[in-house]
Amino acid sequence: MLPSQRRQAILAAVRAEDAASADALARQFDVSVETIRRDLRALHSEGLLERVYGGATRPSGRSDEGSFSARSARNVDLKRAIAALAVSLIEPEDTIVIDVGTTALEVARALPLTFRGRVLTNSVPVAMAMADRSDIDLLLCGGQVRIGDGACSGAHAEVFFGEFYADKAFLGSGGVHAAAGLTDYYPPEVVVRRTIIAHTASSYVLADSSKLGTIAVHRVCALDSITAVVTDDRNPGAASELQAAGVSLLCAESTSSMSLNQVG
């Protein structure tokens, strides 16, 4: 097992039981306790778990993804690269769904002037980003609006998306994990996202590399329910695990240039 694979397995073990001892993890993975300690230090430095005496626990904040403004300032270049790759998949007259989230907002900003189709969204910031585009048929669903993110959810949003069949959907994500699938933080928005997936021909999950191998608190769906994950190339270990699970990855290079690499 590669170190990156072992660390993802350690993370899954800690999350499954809320805590794990270094001794038990060493026996489980047949490595030394010092190796496990190095793994725990690395995972702790990424904010994926909390180190405690003798082992590790689930991080205290993994049930909350943080504020929209804070997330908007993280990995901006990667999100823009992912967005540019995502819009390259869109035909000029498609009906598309742009979901909530900071990377989804970058997709809205990156839509080329050649696009003249229909955009369905449950994101107030996404709608505002395209409000001046008279060439686009823009529809914002109703529902309860979450403060900060401007995300719409609830019965009105579910009915709205249930009345359309879109060509492509670009979905936000809290985490993308080979075993746990697509996960997120807010139950009402999870239900809306399931409706979107059920009513869309091709569903693409937008996830920068920090979300690969991560598990948020609520499950949206298994990864065989989506078409592909649009990500970057900064986390090859987690990408390899997703590939091994049969997930298609579209990877944007984390440089000024980009390439489309389909895996799986």
Rounded CA gap, 26 and 18, in Å? 17
> Is the domain of 11 the same as that of 110?
no
Q: Supply the pLDDT for residue 218.
A: 84
Cα–Cα distance, 9 to 202 (Å, whole number):
30
Q: How many domains does the chain have?
A: 2
Per-residue pLDDT of the chain (264 residues; tens, 9 = 90+): 788 889 888 988 887 777 889 999 999 999 999 999 999 988 877 667 778 788 888 765 445 566 676 777 777 899 999 999 999 999 999 999 999 999 999 999 999 999 999 999 999 999 999 999 999 999 999 999 998 899 999 999 999 999 999 999 999 999 998 888 999 988 999 999 999 999 999 999 999 998 998 888 788 999 999 999 999 998 888 899 899 999 999 999 876 444 444 544
Q: Which two tokens stand for residue 123?
A: 């994101």
Same domain (yes/no): 163, 75: yes
Q: Is 234 helix (H, G, I), strand (E, B) or coil?
A: coil
Instruction: Give the torsion sign (CA, 145, 150, 151, 152).
Output: positive
User: Do both 195 and 150 map to the same domain?
Assistant: yes
pLDDT of 86 reads 98
Q: Which residues pair with 166 in a beta bridge?
A: 200
The domain of 200 spans 68-263
For the chain, the distance separating the N- and C-terminal CA atoms, rounded to the nearest angstrom, is 20
Q: Does residue 62 sit within a domain?
A: no
